[in-house]
Structure 1
Amino acid sequence: MSGPVTGPARQDAAPTGPAAPAADAPRAAAAALRVPPALFLANLSFVLLWPAAWSVPLLELGLVEMIGGRTVSVLGGLEILWAKDALLACLVALLGVVMPMGKTLLLAAVQAGKLRARALPLIEIAGKLSMADVFLLAMIVVVAKGVGIGFARPLWGLYAFALCVLASMLVSHLTKQKLRSAP
C-alpha cells in the first residue's frame, strides 16, 4: 500500500483552512457577495443614514408664521403623536422607522446570499410602505396651508428623509437587476 500522492507545493496558491492569513478575510467576504461590493456598502450605509434622517427637523409647525413655530423630526413627531393618538404613532413608527430599517437589513441579507432572492418582492413592498410616511408628512403641509389656521413649512430634513427613501428604493432596484443578470 502506498500513501497519498503528494507533489511539490505551488508557490502561487493561497493557503486555505485555519492557517489562511486574516488579510484574505475581506477578499473572501467580497467574493461571497451576490452583488458588487459598492452596492452592498451603499445599502449598508442606510443603517447609519436612517437614524440621522429620523432625528433632523422635517417640518416647522406653528400658529403665526411671523413668530415661527416648533420644528418636528420623525422621532419628535412620534413623541407628540404618542401623547395624542397611540395607534397613529404606532402606524407612523412602523412605516417610518421599522419598515426602512427592516428593508435595509433584509436587502443586505439577500445581497450577502443569506436570504434567497425570492424575498425581493416583499422587500420592495416594505420600501414602498416607507414612502407612505413621506406622503403623510406632505399631506400635513398641504392641509395646514389649505385650512389657513397655522402653518406647516417643510424643512431640509423632509427632503433628506425623502431622498433616503428614494435612494434605498434605487439600491433595491439595482440589486434586483444584478441578481437577475447573474448566472
Structure 2
Amino acid sequence: MLHRPAPKRDFTAKILRALNLSLLIFFPLAWTAPLLRAGLLPLFGMTEISVLSGIKSLWETDIVLASIVVFFAVFAPIIKVIAVELTFSGYLPAKLKPAIFVLARLAMADIFLIAIYITLAKGLRIGRLDVAWGLYLFTACVLTALVISLCSRKGSTVADGVE
C-alpha cells in the first residue's frame, strides 16, 4: 500500500522547493547589487561595492584570498541550492545530506565578514560607509538558503513530501 503524504506537508515541500530554485535567480542578482557605498569624504561621490566588484578588486591584489571569497560567496551557495534540490527530488544519497548543512554554515561566513568590515570601517571613522540594498538581498538569500537546507536535513520529513 502506498503512503501518500498529507496535503499540507506536500504543499509546504513544494513551497520550499520553489523558494530554493528561486535562489538560482536571486543569488546572482545579489552578487551584482550594491552591498555598500563607500567614500572618503561626504562631499565626494560614493563608490558602490558589490560582491563581484569586491572580488574583482581583491583579485588584483590577493588571488588566494579572492579564490577563497569566490568559493564561499559564489560556489558554495549555488552548490548548496543544487544539493537541496537533489534532496527534494530524491537524487541525493542520504550520506551526503549532512554536507548541505556544512555548506549552509560556510555560506553564512560572508555575512559575518561583511558585518565585521562595516563595524571596523565605522569604528575607525575613516571616510563614510553606507549599507546598500544589496546587502539586505544577499543576507535574505543566505538566510533563506539556510532555512531551506535545515528543512531538508536528515530527519526532516518535509523533503519526503515532494515527488
TM range (shorter): 0.7 to 0.9
Could you tell me how far 1:179 is from its partner in structure 2? 5.2
Mapped pair 1:87 → 2:64: yes
Structure 1's unaligned 5+ residue stretches are 1-32
- Residues 180 and 118 (structure 1 numbering): CA distance in 2 closer, same or farther, change over 3 Å? farther
Structure 2's unaligned 5+ residue stretches are 1-9
Match of 1:70 in 2: 47
Report the 3-state secondary structure (helix = DSSP H, G, I; strand = E; otherwise coil) of the residue aligned with 1:68. Answer: coil
Match of 2:116 in 1: 139
Report the 3-state secondary structure (helix = DSSP H, G, I; strand = E; otherwise coil) of the residue aligned with 2:37. Answer: strand
Match of 2:157 in 1: 178
- Where do 1:1-183 residues align within 5 Å? 36-176=13-153, 177-178=156-157
Amino-acid identity (%): 35
Q: TM-score, normalised by structure 1?
A: 0.75
Greater relative contact order (Cα 8 A, min sep 6): structure 1 or 2? 2
- What are the Cα deviations for residues 142-179 of structure 1, in whole angstroms up to 9, with x where unaligned? 11111222222211110110111001111112223225
What is the RMSD computed on CA atoms of the aligned residues?
A: 2.0
Q: How many matched pairs?
A: 149
- Residues 120 and 66 (structure 1 numbering): CA distance in 2 closer, same or farther, change over 3 Å? farther
Q: Is the 8 A contact 2:151 2:159 kept in 1?
A: no
More deviation, 42-51/113-122 = 113-122
- What are the Cα deviations for residues 67-123 of structure 1, in whole angstroms up to 9, with x where unaligned? 232001101111111111111111111110010001000111111111123322211
Output the CA distance in 2 between the equivalents of 1:113 and 1:39: 14
Output the CA distance in 1 between the equivalents of 2:129 and 2:62: 20
Q: Is the 8 A contact 1:117 1:179 kept in 2?
A: no
Output the CA distance in 1 between the equivalents of 2:65 and 2:131: 21
